[in-house]
Amino acid sequence: MNITSAMVKELRVKTGAGMMDCKEALTASGGDFEKAIDYLRKKGMSAATKRSSKAAKDGAVASYIHMGGKIGVLVEVNCETDFVAKTDDFQRFAKDLTMHIAAANPLFVRPDEIPEEVVEREKEIFRSQALAEKRSLREN
């Protein structure tokens, strides 16, 4: 099958993948968009696996202290290169992250700090919500 630039563009718009990746996926799938999307997803997973071995040893430390000094957040955000860490966007991201954490008012920092009773209570709440949503979908 002949892969046209319009087909490549359409797949790129749908997936956000690069032009050459889209062309490769369409060629491998014989022009079938669904198979091409699956191909790109599988390829993306392998690319993510390759990236996971890279060390994120650079980054930034940001802090946020709320007025009155009763709430404070200190966060370290890592990235692969100092080039990225020094950009204004990355610094802003780290600062915004601290404010989001303060606003969320987390009760625990790490999963191993959460008591089992809290985990079970939250699971029960989510089960109830899922059942209620399932019922409402059936009624509609």
What does the pLDDT look like over 120-133, one tens digit per residue? 999 999 999 988 88
What does the pLDDT look like over 25-78, one tens digit per residue? 899 999 888 898 888 888 875 565 566 667 778 899 999 999 988 889 999 999
What does the pLDDT look like over 13-29, one tens digit per residue? 888 788 888 888 899 99
Checking if the pLDDT of 94 tops 70, the result is yes
Instruction: State residue 51's pLDDT score.
Output: 61
Cα 62 to Cα 85: distance, rounded to the nearest angstrom: 12
Angle at 104 between CA 99 and CA 106, to 5 degrees: 115
With left for phi above 0 and alpha for psi between -120 and 50, is residue 61 left, alpha or beta?
beta
